[in-house]
């Protein structure tokens, strides 16, 4: 399929990274019984694709590798939250700093992605476009409007997605 082959070598390198594969496997195992939103590959990809649609629709100047790199790693540290009580945005940012340079990202790109990941949790002032896109795509990827665990969910009204925008 040559007609649909962007340069995604860095993304492939993330997918093949042993730390990425380990994290994803742990998250998947630890969330088997979870009634709330899960953080498996399907969620990471939903966020990547929604974020990329936002970039295209709004003509934002962000490279696809940056957007996908941030989305694929933003919840990877979830297993450390379950196992060690480390907030997952912090754990995921730490993993990103380890994984991204080995996947061919520059120091500057790594820092930009790690910062966006570390800011994706709570409502706060986000400076970079990437941090804002990641936060919004993350929330918009969830189908809160038909979730069975709505009553027990800790998300506030601002975070809950009530419609389908993407």
Binding site for Fe ion (CB under 5 A): 75, 138
> Measuring CA to CA, which residue among 8, 19, 4 is closest to residue 104?
8
**Residue 106 Cβ vs Fe ion, minimum distance, rounded to whole Å:** 25
Torsion angle, CA of 34/37/38/44, rounded to 10 degrees? 180
By three-state DSSP, how is residue 75 classified?
coil
**Residue 148 Cβ vs Fe ion, minimum distance, rounded to whole Å:** 19
Angle at which helices 64-73 and 129-140 cross, to 10°: 50
**Residue 43 Cβ vs Fe ion, minimum distance, rounded to whole Å:** 6
**Residue 4 Cβ vs Fe ion, minimum distance, rounded to whole Å:** 26
Q: Which is nearer to Fe ion, 15 or 104 (CB)?
A: 15
> Measuring CA to CA, which residue among 138, 137, 144, 136 is closest to residue 161?
144
Q: Which is nearer to Fe ion, 104 or 153 (CB)?
A: 153
Task: Judge whether 131 and 51 are in contact, CB under 8 Å.
Answer: no
Q: Which is nearer to Fe ion, 10 or 92 (CB)?
A: 92
Q: Which is nearer to Fe ion, 109 or 138 (CB)?
A: 138
**Long-range contacts of the stretch 152-160 (C-beta < 8 A, 24+):** 152/35, 152/36, 153/36, 156/123, 158/123, 159/123
Q: Which is nearer to Fe ion, 17 or 75 (CB)?
A: 75
**Residue 46 Cβ vs Fe ion, minimum distance, rounded to whole Å:** 9
């Amino acid at each position: 399929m040559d007609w649909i082959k962007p340069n995604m070598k860095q993304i492939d390198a993330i997918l093949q990274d042993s730390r990425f594969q380990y994290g994803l496997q742990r998250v998947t195992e630890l969330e088997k019984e979870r009634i709330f939103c899960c953080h498996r590959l399907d969620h990471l990809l939903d966020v990547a694709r929604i974020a990329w649609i936002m970039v295209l629709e709004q003509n934002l100047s962000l490279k696809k590798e940056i957007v996908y790199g941030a989305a694929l790693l933003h919840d990877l540290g979830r297993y450390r939250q379950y196992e060690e009580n480390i907030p997952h945005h912090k754990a995921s940012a730490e993993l990103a700093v380890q994984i991204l340079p080995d996947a061919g990202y520059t120091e500057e790109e790594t820092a930009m992605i790690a910062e966006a990941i570390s800011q994706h949790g709570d409502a706060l002032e986000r400076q970079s476009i990437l941090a804002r896109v990641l936060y919004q795509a993350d929330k918009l990827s969830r189908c809160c409007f038909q979730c069975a665990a709505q009553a027990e969910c800790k998300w506030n009204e601002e975070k809950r997605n009530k419609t389908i925008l993407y």
